[in-house]
């Protein structure tokens, strides 16, 4: 703390900058650029996930400077806001690959129903076996769905929307990190199936990962993300009532 | 770039309006995506389709940097890890196992039905 009595000097500058959106927006982009370099240097290993590294770097900055998340988000919201437009933009790869997509309509429909139920039922049964109470299970049920929808579903089931968002992001990180090695271990080479699974089980983070791997995989991940939001919104109340 | 961004935002705005107006369980951006896809397909059906190339810079720009957009929310999770700790082990097992089960069930079902229909895999 080297600030002079009138609040100017080094510390005064920090106080000023840390309150403007500019600082934390810049930190978010720099953390991502650094994370991307680190991920590339590690040969894009699935564990060296760019989002996870960037989150760790930015969270480290927040902790080191004792900055509250609310202050950070005033800058970072400009990036966060773009999730909505990016979801709309998924229409373009869908359109470009419309013939491939249309040919796969039956495999997609079957995989959608089986996958959505498998992800939700297994999470709820394991949670119940560990004695997790019903209100927390309500936040757990929509964990494979994109965050905005999951929060709405959880709230409708009597769960905490904020907890749902946290569980959604952790699910996305697990899916993004495991999908490539898992699919390789299964010997599955169909990029449509691999991408569809990533988008269904791990929403936007799985979709981002799929686009890194292959354009067809990314397209099918985007479709799965959108369809699973619809299917889980319909199935979650039914499944939760049946299991509790 | 701006033209494409404007069309994307317009679709999202229409999607939000429909979602809030009708109480559908679908979020505005997902409805916006469906709307944009319908517009592109309808345009193709016109006798003289408009050039939609202006959409690519904005849409591809967003999608190639999709990972970045999740960083702010991810930083929020780090601050809430205490919420998770109460049911830590159960939640950890449930999340990891169900995500793996969801991935495997989805991919294998897709591949099995594709094989039944004698479709060729896209590598």
pLDDT at position A1, please?
43
pLDDT at position A8, please?
55
What are the pLDDT digits (tens) for B32-68?
988 999 999 999 999 999 999 999 999 999 988 888 9
pLDDT at position A20, please?
83
Min Cα separation B18/chain A (Å)? 14
Min Cα separation A9/chain B (Å)? 30
CB A197 within 8 A of CB A183: yes
Q: Which of B40, B89, B109 sits opposite A114 (nearest CB)?
A: B109
Please answer yes or no on whether B94 and A162 come within 8 Å at the CB atom.
Answer: no
Min Cα separation A154/chain B (Å)? 12
State which residue of chain A sits closest to B103, comparing Cα positions: A197
What are the pLDDT digits (tens) for B82-96?
767 788 899 999 999
pLDDT at position A18, please?
77
pLDDT at position A163, please?
85
A97-126 burial, b for 16+ CB within 10 Å, e for fewer?
beeebebbeebbebbbebbbbbbbbbbbeb
Please answer yes or no on whether B94 and A132 come within 8 Å at the CB atom.
Answer: yes
pLDDT at position A139, please?
92
User: Is the Cα dihedral A37, B75, B33, A207 positive or negative?
Assistant: positive
Q: Which of A28, A129, A144 sits opposite B102 (nearest CB)?
A: A144
Give the ipTM.
0.88
The pairs formed by B48-57 with CB atoms below 8 angstroms and a separation of 24 or more are B54/B3, B54/B4, B54/B7, B55/A92, B55/B3, B55/B4, B55/B7, B55/B8, B56/A92, B56/B4, B57/B1, B57/B4
The domain spans of chain A are 9-81, 89-243
Please answer yes or no on whether B70 and A172 come within 8 Å at the CB atom.
Answer: yes
Q: What is the mean pLDDT of each run of 10 residues along chain A (244 residues)?
A: 51 78 95 95 82 92 92 92 89 87 92 97 96 92 88 84 86 95 95 96 94 92 89 88 84
Chain B interface test: which of A88, A114, A150, A232 (most B C-beta within 10 Å) = A88
Chain A interface test: which of B109, B112, B120, B123 (most A C-beta within 10 Å) = B109
Please answer yes or no on whether B111 and A190 come within 8 Å at the CB atom.
Answer: yes
- Tell the burial category of A93 from Cβ atoms under 10 Å away from its Cβ (0-12, 13-18, 19+): buried
pLDDT at position A177, please?
94
| Range 47-86 of A in CB contact (< 8 A) with B | 50-52, 54-56, 58-59, 62, 69, 72-73, 76-77, 79-80, 82-86
């Amino acid at each position: 703390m080297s600030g002079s009595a009138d609040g100017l000097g080094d510390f005064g500058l920090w106080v000023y900058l840390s309150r403007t959106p500019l600082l934390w927006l810049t930190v978010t982009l720099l953390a991502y650029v650094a994370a991307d370099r680190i991920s590339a240097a590690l040969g894009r290993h699935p564990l060296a996930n760019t989002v996870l590294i960037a989150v760790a770097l930015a969270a480290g900055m927040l902790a080191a400077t004792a900055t509250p998340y609310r202050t950070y988000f005033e800058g970072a919201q400009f990036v966060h806001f773009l999730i909505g437009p990016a979801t709309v933009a998924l229409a373009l790869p869908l359109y470009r690959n419309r013939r491939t997509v249309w040919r796969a309509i039956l495999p997609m429909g079957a995989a959608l129903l089986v996958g959505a139920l498998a992800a939700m039922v297994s999470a709820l049964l394991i949670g119940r076996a560990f004695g997790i109470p019903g209100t927390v299970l309500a936040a757990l049920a929509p964990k494979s769905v994109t965050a905005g929808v999951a929060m709405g579903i959880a709230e409708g089931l009597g769960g905490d929307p904020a907890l749902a968002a946290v569980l959604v992001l952790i699910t996305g990180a697990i899916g993004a990190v495991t999908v490539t090695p898992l699919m390789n271990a299964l010997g599955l080479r169909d990029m449509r199936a691999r991408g569809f699974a990533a988008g269904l089980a791990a929403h936007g983070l799985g979709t981002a990962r799929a686009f890194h791997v292959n354009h067809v995989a990314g397209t099918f991940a985007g479709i799965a993300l959108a369809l699973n939001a619809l299917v889980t919104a319909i199935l979650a109340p039914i499944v939760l009532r049946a299991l509790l | 770039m701006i033209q494409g961004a404007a069309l994307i935002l317009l679709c999202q705005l229409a999607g939000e309006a429909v979602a809030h107006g009708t109480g559908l369980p679908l979020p505005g951006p997902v409805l916006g995506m469906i709307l944009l896809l319908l517009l592109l397909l309808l345009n193709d059906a016109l006798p003289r389709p408009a050039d939609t190339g202006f959409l690519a810079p904005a849409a591809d720009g967003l999608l190639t940097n999709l990972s970045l957009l999740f960083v702010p929310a991810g930083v929020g999770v780090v601050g809430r890890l205490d919420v998770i700790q109460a049911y830590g082990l159960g939640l950890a097992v449930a999340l990891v196992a169900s995500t793996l089960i969801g991935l495997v069930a989805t991919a294998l079902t897709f591949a099995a039905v594709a094989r039944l229909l004698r479709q060729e895999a896209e590598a």
